[in-house]
A = this chain, B = another copy of it.
Amino acid sequence: MIIELDMQSELPIYTQLINQIIEGIASGKLLPGEALPSVRSMASDIGINLHTVNKAYNQLKQEDYIHVHRQKGVVVNPNGMPEVDEHFTARQLQQLRPVIAEAILRGMSQDELIDMVESIYKDIKA
């Protein structure tokens, strides 16, 4: 699992880290039950502070995507991922809406937009 961070990005590092791990799980590169690097090794691997890694891990734990054992370290939730729920749908809608609005504003047709979504979907899943 290779993590790529953009230190110049406006996105907080811990958010980028969360996104990368989520994508890793979504794409199947990280399997349920699989171990993730310890906060310390992950931090030194990618050259950031361990607290930043910790924050990312904690947020992922909160969503029940990973489990954090005090001693054994961190693993992808072995029982698989939580389903779509109300809370998630609301968040998703809130994130999607402005992006779609701006696409419409710039004249993208519904089909073009769907093509884009499909291509990203396939790209991640592949």
Contact = CB atoms under 8 A, between A and B. Distances in A.
Max chain B CB contacts within 10 Å: which of A62, A98, A124, A125?
A98
A88 B102 CA distance: 9
Contacts of A81: 105-107
Interface residues of A, number: 48
A118 B107 contact: no
Interface string A80-116: 0111100010001101111111111111101001101
Given A97-B23, A99-B96, A121 B107 contact: no
Interface of A: 7-8, 10, 12, 19, 22-23, 25-27, 62, 65, 67, 69-70, 72, 81-84, 88, 92-93, 95-108, 110, 113-114, 116-118, 120-122, 124-125
